[in-house]
A = this chain, B = another copy of it.
Amino acid sequence: MIHPLLKDWKIEFHSGIPAYRQIANRLAAAMADGTLKHGDRLPTIRELHERLGVNPNTVAKAYRELTHKGLLDGQRGFGSFVKLDDAVSALPATKKKAKLKELYQRMLAEARSHGLNEAQILTFIKQRKTV
């Protein structure tokens, strides 16, 4: 049975965003929004490799990154499994906040370099509805 994640998933090879990043982001997003739950089995590295047309190592790199963040658990001969309870929820609020701040600052810097100031940015974001 084909994994739900694989529906309509194509790597954009000329987007400037590296393949492994697209993979890691998609998986992480699915975890964050609840599509993937703790204990779920991910597609095997080789399956993604075939379906997406990328090197097995590229998939492995994405998996490794998530594993390193504690979001994933790989078991040889068995598969890779989502691991949400411990690591993520246990990620202290202060650390999360620090990470967010860092990301936000980076976005600010880039926006500024396009002639936008923080007020405009905040205005834009605050208009967005909380999904």
Asked if B99 and A111 make an inter-chain contact with CB atoms under 8 angstroms apart, the answer reads: yes
Q: Which residues A92-130 have CB closer than 8 A to chain B?
A: 96-97, 99-101, 103-104, 106-107, 109-126, 128, 130
A102 nearest CB across to chain B (Å): 10
Q: Which residue of B lies closest to A97 (CB)?
A: B124
Q: Which residues A53-112 have CB closer than 8 A to chain B?
A: 65-66, 69, 71, 84, 87-89, 91, 96-97, 99-101, 103-104, 106-107, 109-112
Contact of A112 among B25, B97, B109, B125 (CB under 8 A): B25
Q: Which residue of B lies closest to A111 (CB)?
A: B103
The copy count of this chain in the complex is 2
Asked if A33 and B130 make an inter-chain contact with CB atoms under 8 angstroms apart, the answer reads: no
- Determine the chain B residues whose CB is within 8 A of the CB of A111 once the complex forms: 99-100, 103
Chain A interface extent, by class: 35 or more
Residues in A lying within 8 Å of B, measured CB to CB: 24-25, 28-29, 31-33, 65-66, 69, 71, 84, 87-89, 91, 96-97, 99-101, 103-104, 106-107, 109-126, 128, 130-131
Q: Which residue of B lies closest to A91 (CB)?
A: B115
Asked if A100 and B113 make an inter-chain contact with CB atoms under 8 angstroms apart, the answer reads: no
- Determine the chain B residues whose CB is within 8 A of the CB of A89 once the complex forms: 115
Asked if B115 and A122 make an inter-chain contact with CB atoms under 8 angstroms apart, the answer reads: no
